[in-house]
Structure 1
Amino acid sequence: MSTTRERALDAAVELVGTQGIRALTHARVDAHAGLPRGSTSNHFRTRAALVSGVSEWIAAQETRDLGAALGRPFDDLDGFIDMFTAGIELLTGPHAVRTRARYALFLESASDPALLAPLRVQREGIAAWTRGLLVALGAPHPDAALHAFMAFGDGIVLHRLSVDPQVPVRASVAVAVHGCLSA
């Protein structure tokens, strides 16, 4: 059974992911979660604390879910492509609302790095892990490959969230990976 705090955070993520950051108020979170008025503010006294809590919650949930999708061992380049395809499809399919909320928080909190800290730490971890995989696969310029691959990933995620949710992913991931591994 979820705690009051978890119910509030789940509701907050859904509000931000479906209605935008302006929908994030204590009262709306309480109503959306079916909680008594004031429940959310018992855990997050200010809006900044609520935004920070949502950021931490998204990072923790994505780390858990992506860890399961991306933590699978792979034997070859096709396995690597399949693994990243699965991650992108997870972020833009079953967890699309949460992913939209993450992007909304990135844009909202650009002027306050402390609010974004959990999401930035998570992204840095994914980047370091991805760089290691690109090195293992023989990327001749791993830093440039990492930046290109991460930009590609953001691009296809945004494209699927905003333009074409059904665009095939695997062929695009394959092109990006092959480009990152070429000279």
Structure 2
Amino acid sequence: MSRRQQALDAAIRVLGTHGARRLTHRAVDAEAGLPAGSASNYFRTREALVEAVLGRLIALEQQAWAEVATDLGESGPIDADAFAAALGELLRDLTGRRRVITLARLAVFVEAAVQPVLRTGISDVRADLEKQGTEWLRRLGSRDPVHDLWGLMALLDGQLINQCTTPDPAFDPEPAIRTFLRGIVR
């Protein structure tokens, strides 16, 4: 792994464990175990650092969605229960093993509210997700896959935020997801 990559992964850990206020070049160097000044050599400003973190988070999120795509297959009808199981597994992973990444993603989204360059990156990812997600919902039987996708995404994001902020050891996102998915194909 390159030092640049080490710095980005360390920045994600800083964001996901300490929040955006603690994200500094110095904190990234310390978290990564890199010599002082390393992060600032790669990312001259804090804004450049956050923009690069967004790029890394996008890559990680695309990997996570690729796992869902594998579970759902490339063609043919999608069963609501199988879809709910795949999304439930994703959410348990994002609030468990990948919790720090999820919290970093949320921190970057807050930064995007005041940094237009971040909104552009997020918009591009949303467009890709919309293309893939609407196809899944079309295969499920949705009559309005674009509208239904953003309702589903709101449900998933709400579950992520709730579980990250007030963790429940018995967290099971599947019943709500299953109910939503069955509701859009009636």
Q: For the structure 1 residues 98 and 28, does the alpha-carbon distance in structure 2 shift closer, same or farther, using more than 3 Å as the test?
A: same
**How many pairs were matched up?**
181
After superposition, where does 1:86-165 map in structure 2 within 5 Å? 86-165=89-168
Counterparts of 1:181 and 1:160, CA distance in 2: 27
1:70 positional shift:
3.6
Structure 1 segments of 4 or more deviating over 6 A?
none
My pick for the range that moved more, 17-26 or 85-94, is 85-94
Q: Are residues 1:168 and 2:172 paired? A: yes
Residue type of the alignment partner of 2:178: A
Counterparts of 1:119 and 1:143, CA distance in 2: 17
1:135 positional shift:
1.2
Aligned to 2:85: 82
Counterparts of 2:52 and 2:168, CA distance in 1: 28
Counterparts of 1:101 and 1:15, CA distance in 2: 8
Structure 1 unaligned spans of 5+: none
Aligned to 1:34: 33
* 1:20-64 alpha-carbon deviations (Å, 9 max, x no partner): 101110011001111001100111011110010111011112212
Counterparts of 1:133 and 1:18, CA distance in 2: 33
8 A Cα contact 2:68 2:90, kept in partner: yes
Counterparts of 1:127 and 1:90, CA distance in 2: 22
1:181 positional shift:
2.1
Aligned to 1:24: 23
Q: Are residues 1:178 and 2:177 paired? A: no
TM-score of the two chains, using structure 2 as the length reference: 0.90
TM-score of the two chains, using structure 1 as the length reference: 0.91
State the SS of the aligned residue for 1:102: helix
State the SS of the aligned residue for 1:140: coil
Structure 2 unaligned spans of 5+: none
Residue type of the alignment partner of 1:129: Q
Aligned to 1:43: 42
Counterparts of 1:65 and 1:136, CA distance in 2: 20
Q: Are residues 1:14 and 2:23 paired? A: no
* 1:89-119 alpha-carbon deviations (Å, 9 max, x no partner): 1211111111111111111221222124333
Q: For the structure 1 residues 135 and 65, does the alpha-carbon distance in structure 2 shift closer, same or farther, using more than 3 Å as the test?
A: closer
Counterparts of 2:23 and 2:45, CA distance in 1: 11
8 A Cα contact 2:91 2:173, kept in partner: yes
Identical pairs, percent: 34
Counterparts of 1:141 and 1:76, CA distance in 2: 17
State the SS of the aligned residue for 2:143: coil
